[in-house]
Amino acid sequence: MTANKILFIVLDGISDRPSPALGGLTPLAAARKPVLDRLAKEGICGIMDTIAAGVRPGSDTAHLALLGYDPYKYYTGRGPLECEGTGIHMEPGMIGFRCNYATISREGIITDRRAGRIHDTAALSMALTEGVDLSGYGVEFAFRSGAGHRAALALRGEGLGHCVSSNDPKKDGVFPLAVKPLKPVAADEKTAVVCNEFIRQSTGILYDHPLNKERVKNGLNPANIVLMRGAGEMGHFEPFSIRYGISGSVISAASLISGIGSALGLTRVPVTGITGSQDSNITGKIAAAITELKTRDFVLVNIKGADESGHDGLAEQKRNFIEKTDTALAPLLDLPDCIIVICADHSTPCTIKDHSADPVPVLIHGDGVRIDDVAGFDEYLCAGGGLNRITGAALLPTALDLINKAHKFGA
C-alpha cells in the first residue's frame, strides 16, 4: 500500500547539546516521549544538516530549505516573510522588517528587548498605523502585530533599498542604534532615513499609549519602542502547488512560518489558542492538521515552544515542553494513508541560547518506509538510523517519493 498524504511536523529548535542541568543529556534525550519513540521505532531515522554541515540556520532559511526552496537563491532577509505572516500582502519590490516591541527607559536605554514577552499588541500597532506619517518621504507603510512581542513593518515607495542595518543592539542595558545604509547608494540611504523617522514618531506614540500606562501601573514593562531588523526585499516564489503538483496548508503560531507558507501559496489554517510559547494549544494544532489532510495533500505544522526555551537557556523547561508536545502527538499513531515527517529546523542549545550548526534528528513514518533499528527519537539514537546524514533539501523529495509524487530523472 502507498500513502498519499504528507504531514510535515517541524519541532522548532528542539535539538540541543548535552546540558549540565540534565545530567549531561539533551532535553530531547532526557524527556519521556513514548509517542515520538514509537514513531521512530516504526519508521526510519537519521540526522540532518538543514542547509549544510557547519552552517547555522535561521528559522527562515531552514524552512525554505526544508520546503525545497534554495535559501541562497530565494532569501533576501527575514523581514518580508514576517510581513506576509502578519497578514501584510507583500508585492515584489516592497521592503520588509521583522520587529520587536521592546522597553526603553526615560534615559533612552533598552531595559527589555521583548517588553516582558507582551501579548496582544493589536491596539499598539493600530495606534502606530494611525499616528505615524511618512508621506513626506513618498513612502507608504503597513505595521502589524505578530505573535507575542513580535511585529512586522513593510515599506512601499519609489527609490527604497533593503541593505540597511538594525536599530536593535541585541542586548539590554544599552542605547538603541541608528539605522544606517550598508551600501553608499541613494536607495539604502533613503530607507535608513525613513526607518529612523518611523522609530522617532512611533516611540512618542507608544510612550503615551493607555495600554503602556496601564502596564507601568501594574508593574509590567511597557512596549514603548520598536526594534527592527532583518530587512529584505520581497521577491518571487514559484507556488508550492506548481512546483510539486500537490495542494498544501500551513499551521503555525509563528508569523515567520505562516509568512513563508503564504509566500509559497500554502493555505494558512487558524487554530484557537496557539501562541508559539509554552502555553500553546498543540493538541488543537494536531487536530487541525488531521482535519486538513482530508482535503489537502501536504500539511506543514510548526511547533515552536522548545525553541523559546533554548533561547532562554531553560533546559528543564525545554524537556517539559517536549513531553507536553509528545502527548499531543498521540493521534498520529492511528493516522492512515499518510507519511509523517518529524524533524527540527535547527538546534537551539540551552548552553549558548542561540541557533547552532549541530545536525538535527529526523524521522519518517508510514507505508513503504524501510524500517531501521532505531528505537527512540533523539540526537544520539537517530544518528544511527537508515537515513544516515542528509541535508534539508533532500527531506521533502524523499517524502514525495514515498507518496509516488517524485519525477524520474532520466529515461
As given in the structure block, the three cell numbers for residue 189 are 540611504
Q: Are 5 and 332 in contact (CB under 8 A)?
A: no
Q: What is the mean pLDDT of residues 77-104?
A: 95
Q: What is the fold of 5-76+236-402?
A: Alkaline Phosphatase, subunit A (3.40.720)
Single-letter code of the amino acid located at 9: I
Lowest mean per-residue pLDDT among 29-33, 72-76, 157-161, 342-346: 72-76
Query: Distance (Å, rounded) from C-alpha 301 to C-alpha 306?
Result: 14
Q: What is the mean pLDDT of residues 335-361?
A: 98
The answer to whether residue 147 scores a pLDDT higher than 90 is no
State residue 148's pLDDT score: 85
- Please give the Cα distance from 233 to 79 (Å, whole number): 8
Distance, in Å, from the CA atom of 88 to the CA atom of 91, rounded to the nearest integer, reads 9
Is there a contact between 411 and 70 (Cβ–Cβ < 8 Å)? Answer: no
DSSP 153-174: EEEEETT--S-B--S--SSSSS
The string of pLDDT tens digits covering residues 260-318 is: 999 999 999 999 999 888 999 999 999 999 999 999 999 999 999 999 999 999 999 99
- Report the predicted TM-score, pTM, of the whole model to 2 decimal places: 0.90
Domain locations along the chain: 5-76+236-402, 82-233
Query: Could you tell me the pLDDT band of residue 242, with boundaries at 50, 70 and 90?
Result: very high
> Which residue type is seen at 159?
G
Burial class (CB in 10 A: 0-12, 13-18, 19+), 265: middle
How do residues 351-406 score in pLDDT, each as one tens digit?
999 999 999 999 999 999 999 999 999 999 999 999 999 999 999 999 999 999 99
- CA distances from residue 288 to 240, 252, 283, 305 in whole angstroms, order as listed: 20, 11, 9, 18
Give phi and psi for 221, each to the nearest 5.
-70, 125
Whose CA is closest to 152, among 232, 80, 93? 80
Residues in CB range of 310: below 8 A, 6 or more apart: 13, 16, 318, 347, 348, 349, 350, 353
Mean pLDDT in the chain? 96
